[in-house]
Amino acid sequence: MGRNIRMRVPIYKTDREKQMMNNRERRKTLLEKAKKTKPKANPTVKTEKEVPTTPQFENLKSQIKQLKQQLASEKAQHQRSERKSQQQIRDLKIANRKLRQEKQVALAEADAKLKENLEKIKLKKTKLYQAKMHLEREQAFLDSVGWNQSDELSTLLAKQSKLAAWWAVNYLKSAEIFTHQRQTCASLKNKDRQLQKENQRLKEELKKEKQKNDRLRHQLHELNASIHATNEELRSRRAEIWLEHLIDYLTPTTLSQYDQLETLNRKLLQTFKVASKQSFSSNLNQQLRFVYGYLQVDDGQFFIYDVNHETKHSLIISEHQQALMNLEDGIAIKAQRNVMTDQYTLVRIYPVINHVRLHEAKLKTPKKVKSQAQTTIADERLSIVDQAKLNWLAAQRILVVGNKRAQAFVDTLKPYVEVKLMDGYEDHPRQIFIAMKAADYVFILIDSVPHAITDYTKTQSDLAPGGRKVQIFRNPQPDAGLARLNYLYATK
């Protein structure tokens, strides 16, 4: 800490100072001589233009100029040296300040270390003193019990060496056991980490499977709900709607799917027999509103005939029914019974019942028997002659959504209703939807329109399938639309 610092102090030479003083005195003397030798100024002539011609004056002038230059250079050099000396003094002051600070820090550290060493020395001294006192107490105890150091020291050392050897052997055994246990523990930890990873992977797979099962369960629930809703909708539909779809669906390509029609006709005949038997039963006659039987024509009068009880009742038939329906003797009919007046009014005829009975008779009889009931009805084009129905049809606006091949379907409707045909693929869907809203009935040829048309009808309450406004046709015959209008008029 006792570093010697040598301060660099600028040394000024005395010879230079003496030379500067001599130059100053010399300059003064030269100026005095110049003043003495200077000619008097003529007031009429300007002194600025006068130039001394003496060589002595020129010599003095040049010497003065040299002296001025030398003085300026010496002055600048003196200023530089003075600034340099001042900077050196400032640097020395800063260095001296840093040295004082470092000295103070070093002294503080030295004092702290010295105090710490003194404390350690005191602590060691205290411990040594305590150890000395302990040894003195033990020595005093051994002396008091008469222990001989020379005799028992060798024995004690031998026992100590045996004890050290036993400890070393047991330490090695313990070290081997500890190493084996540590390796076993590391192996178990590794297996535990692998099992945890496997468990985490299985948990993730189980979570994914649960999510997948939940989605499948939700889809199954939605599917069951949809199936249940569809079943309920199908159960709520009337048989007339089913028959209407069956009629529209019947084509030469789908004829093979109607093989069960004979079974349906047989069941229809059996059910008609049961219904006609119950219609005139004494127990149920007062409760039934509609009765079933066969038409009997006697001298221009009409009767409903009960074949089971061989009884007949007067039947009321309107003029338009007589003009429209083929009222043959023996045809199966449905009549409405007025409970108050016990009068019967014709509702509908069932020619199919007679056809089924005729078919069964043909199957039972090997020979062909010609009768009026066995005559077949020739295919004729459907026409409407009832004035009330014609008036109702004239007020209806029908929209047919199909394609160009539906022109025959539309031509059959044109004599009776105001009909418009729109192509499901060529016309813009928005225009078709607007026309649907404006029409009274919409006939959709389902095999000739895109799915967007039917999807739109499902979203509108007034165009929903199953209602009266939208009627669906599958591969219809040309007069299928007119037959559907007859049905709509009858059920309006």
Residues 230-241 pLDDT 10s: 777 666 666 667
Question: Is residue 445 scored above 80 in pLDDT?
Answer: yes
Rounded mean pLDDT, 211-228: 85
pLDDT in tens, 477-490: 888 888 888 888 88
Residue of 336 and 195 predicted with greater confidence: 195
State which CATH number among 3.30.70.2740, 3.40.50.720, 2.40.50.140, 1.10.10.10 fits the domain covering 271-374.
Answer: 2.40.50.140
Per-residue model confidence (pLDDT) at position 401: 92
Q: Is-contact 241 466, C-beta < 8 A?
A: yes
Tokens of 183: 């390796």
pLDDT in tens, 379-407: 334 556 678 888 888 889 999 998 877 88
Question: Is residue 369 scored above 80 in pLDDT?
Answer: no
Per-residue model confidence (pLDDT) at position 421: 92
Per-residue model confidence (pLDDT) at position 38: 53
Q: What are φ and ψ of residue 208, in 5° steps?
A: -65, -40
Report the candidate in 10, 4, 186, 6 with the shortest Cα–Cα distance to residue 83: 10
**Average model confidence (pLDDT) for the chain?**
78
Question: Is residue 449 scored above 70 in pLDDT?
Answer: yes
Tokens of 369: 């028997």
Per-residue model confidence (pLDDT) at position 419: 93
pLDDT in tens, 287-342: 557 777 888 888 778 888 766 656 788 888 887 787 777 777 788 888 887 777 77
Rounded mean pLDDT, 173-193: 89
Question: Which class is domain 387-490?
Answer: alpha beta
Instruction: Quickly state the pLDDT bin for 440 (edges 50, 70, 90).
Output: very high
The predicted model scores a pTM of 0.29
Per-residue model confidence (pLDDT) at position 140: 81
Per-residue model confidence (pLDDT) at position 202: 92
Instruction: Quickly state the pLDDT bin for 7 (edges 50, 70, 90).
Output: very low
Cβ-Cβ contacts under 8 Å for 231 (sequence gap 6 or more): none
Separation between Cα atoms, residue 416 and residue 482, nearest integer Å: 9
Q: Is-contact 107 29, C-beta < 8 A?
A: no
Cβ-Cβ contacts under 8 Å for 306 (sequence gap 6 or more): 276, 279, 280, 293, 312, 313
Question: Is residue 43 scored above 60 in pLDDT?
Answer: no
**What's at 323, amino acid-wise?**
A
Per-residue model confidence (pLDDT) at position 376: 34
- Cα distances (angstroms) measured from residue 283 to each of 275, 286, 306, 368: 13, 7, 15, 41
Rounded mean pLDDT, 96-100: 89
Question: Is residue 371 scored above 50 in pLDDT?
Answer: no
Which of 195-199, 423-427, 467-471 holds the top average pLDDT?
A: 195-199
Per-residue model confidence (pLDDT) at position 418: 92
Which of 137-146, 159-168, 419-428 holds the top average pLDDT?
A: 419-428
> What is the Cα 169 distance to its own chain's centre?
70
Percentage of the chain modeled with pLDDT above 90: 8
Instruction: Quickly state the pLDDT bin for 53 (edges 50, 70, 90).
Output: low
